[in-house]
Amino acid sequence: MDYAEFIRNRITQLRIAKDVSEYQMSLELGHSKSYIQGITSGRALPSMNEFISICDYFGITPKDFFDNNIDNPALVQELLSAVGNLNDGDIELLINIADKFKSR
């Protein structure tokens, strides 16, 4: 697996899902306007600290970043946080609802 290409593509996917431009994301991360464009074009890769900042920017964990099966990891994190406040009966009800959606 080409991890550099995966990182570039995943940042692009998450950025588009968040509906922000490379320019806007770069500035919001505190970098020059071409910072993200440099990453997505393959000229650079983020440092580990910057990678963590990028994950924070998207509201996800590094694990979520590499879990390519989830289209909107921030939304999944929100769901998990909400489920943490439910009792067992409510959680079982949600599982049943999710199972019904899976079978569609």
- Both ends of the chain: CA-CA distance in Å? 32
User: pLDDT digit string (tens) for 50-92?
Assistant: 999 999 999 888 988 988 666 666 677 777 788 888 888 888 8
| Helix ranges, 34-72 (H) | 35-40, 48-58, 62-66
User: pLDDT digit string (tens) for 12-53?
Assistant: 999 998 999 999 999 999 999 999 999 999 999 999 999 999
d(CA 7, CA 56): 15
Tokens of 57: 């920017």
